[in-house]
Chain A
Amino acid sequence: MAICEVKNLTRDYGNGRGVFDLSFSINRGEVFGFLGPNGAGKTTTIRHLMGFLKPQKGYCTIGGMDCWKDRADIQKTLGYIPGEMVFFEDMTGTEFLNFMMKYRKVKTNKRIKELMDRFELDTRSKIKKMSKGMKQKIGIVAAFMHDPEVLILDEPTSGLDPLMQNRFIELVMEERSRGKTILMSSHIFEEVERTCSRVAIIKNGRLVAMDEVEKLKAAQVRKYVITLENEKAAAAFASEGLHVSEVSKNQVTVIVQNNIKELISVMNRYPVTNIITPNQSLEEIFLQYYGGDKS
Chain B
Amino acid sequence: MINWTLYKLGIKGIWKMLLIFAAVITMYFVVIISMFDPALGSALDEFSKAMPELMAIVGMNPVSAELVGFLEAYLYGFIMLVFPMLFCILSANKLIARHVDRGSMTYLLSAPVKRETVAFTQMKVMVTGIIILIFYATLIGIVDCEISFPGKLDIWKFILLNIGVLCLHLFIGGICFLCSCIFNDSKYAVGVGGGIPALGFVIQMMANAGEKLENAKYATFFTLFDSDGIIIGESGAIWGMIVLFVGAIVLFSTAIVIFSKKDLHI
Residues of A within 8 A of B (CB): 47, 50-54, 71-73, 75-76, 78, 80, 82, 84, 86-89, 99-100, 102-105, 142
Contacts and interface: CB of A to CB of B under 8 A. Distances in A.
B104 interface: yes
Contacts of B102: 86
B207 to A, nearest CB: 40
Contacts of A103: 3, 5-6, 108, 111, 113
Interface range for B: 20 to 34
Given A52-B263, A53-B263, A82-B103, A104 B111 contact: yes
A87 B264 CA distance: 17
A75 B112 contact: yes
A84 B106 CA distance: 10
B23 to A, nearest CB: 21
B106 A53 contact: no
Contacts of B156: none
A54 B13 CA distance: 30
B9 A88 contact: yes
Interface in B1-44: 3, 5-6, 9, 13
Contact of B265 (A47, A73, A78, A87): A47
Nearest to A86: B103
A52 B112 contact: no
Given A52-B264, A53-B265, A100 B107 contact: yes
B219 interface: no
B110 interface: yes
A50 B111 CA distance: 10
B112 A51 contact: no
A12 to B, nearest CB: 13
A50 B115 CA distance: 12
Nearest to A77: B112
Greatest chain A CB density within 10 A among B102, B103, B107 is at B107
Interface in B195-245: none
19 contacts: A47-B264, A47-B266, A51-B109, A52-B263, A53-B263, A54-B263, A71-B109, A75-B109, A75-B111, A78-B110, A86-B106, A87-B104, A89-B13, A99-B9, A100-B111, A103-B108, A104-B112, A105-B112, A142-B107
A137 to B, nearest CB: 15
Contacts of A72: 112-115
A71 B108 CA distance: 12
Contacts of B3: 103
Nearest to B3: A103
B104 A88 contact: yes
Given A88-B104, A103-B3, A103-B5, A82 B110 contact: yes
A87 B263 contact: no
Given A82-B103, A84-B103, A102-B5, A50 B112 contact: no
